[in-house]
């Protein structure tokens, strides 16, 4: 039997929200590692996909599962949970970290070397 979200992770403060969900900081209880926990409300999901085992999930989960650990430049999906009204995606949260939008606000431009 699969454990519940609250048995494995502690939810922290909200980091941000937008059209694709709300993201919270969190902690993996087994080792204290920082994680990001994204809540996506079921009714806001526009595209659905199917996992290899036939489970119907948001396309975001399908794509993140496909990428897997193949690319270190992409935030990894560590776990996900289906709740009655939403899906919770648990992703790695490297510290320090910053999204591209806020990085560009600070740096104003991104040089070719930095982009690589």
Domain that holds residue 98: 5-115
What is the number of structural domains in the chain? 1
d(CA 85, CA 43): 8
d(CA 112, CA 43): 40
pLDDT tens track for 34-48: 999 999 999 999 999
Question: Quick one: which of 4, 34, 36, 33 has its CA closest to 17?
Answer: 36
Which CATH number fits the domain that encloses residue 78? 3.30.200.20
Which residues belong to the annotated binding site?
38
By DSSP bridging, strand 9-18 and strand 21-28 are antiparallel
Tell me, rounded to whole angstroms, the distance of Cα 95 from its chain centroid.
15
- For residue 67, the surrounding DSSP H or E stretch is helix 59-67
d(CA 34, CA 36): 7
pLDDT tens track for 56-110: 999 999 999 988 767 777 889 999 999 999 999 999 987 777 777 777 888 877 7
Rounded to two decimals, the pTM is 0.83
Which residues belong to the annotated binding site for ATP?
38
Ordered alpha helix ranges (H), the chain: 5-8, 59-67, 100-107, 112-115
């Amino acid at each position: 039997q699969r454990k519940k979200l609250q048995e494995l992770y502690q939810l922290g403060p909200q980091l941000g929200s937008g059209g694709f969900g709300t993201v919270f900081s969190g902690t993996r209880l087994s080792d204290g590692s920082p994680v990001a926990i994204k809540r996506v409300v079921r009714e806001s999901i526009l595209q659905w996909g199917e996992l290899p085992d036939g489970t119907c999930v948001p396309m975001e989960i399908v794509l993140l599962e496909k990428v897997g650990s193949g690319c270190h430049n992409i935030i990894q999906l560590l776990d996900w949970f289906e709740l009655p009204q939403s899906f919770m995606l648990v992703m790695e949260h490297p510290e320090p970290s910053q999204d591209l939008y806020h990085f560009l606000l600070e740096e104003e431009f991104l040089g070719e070397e930095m982009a690589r």
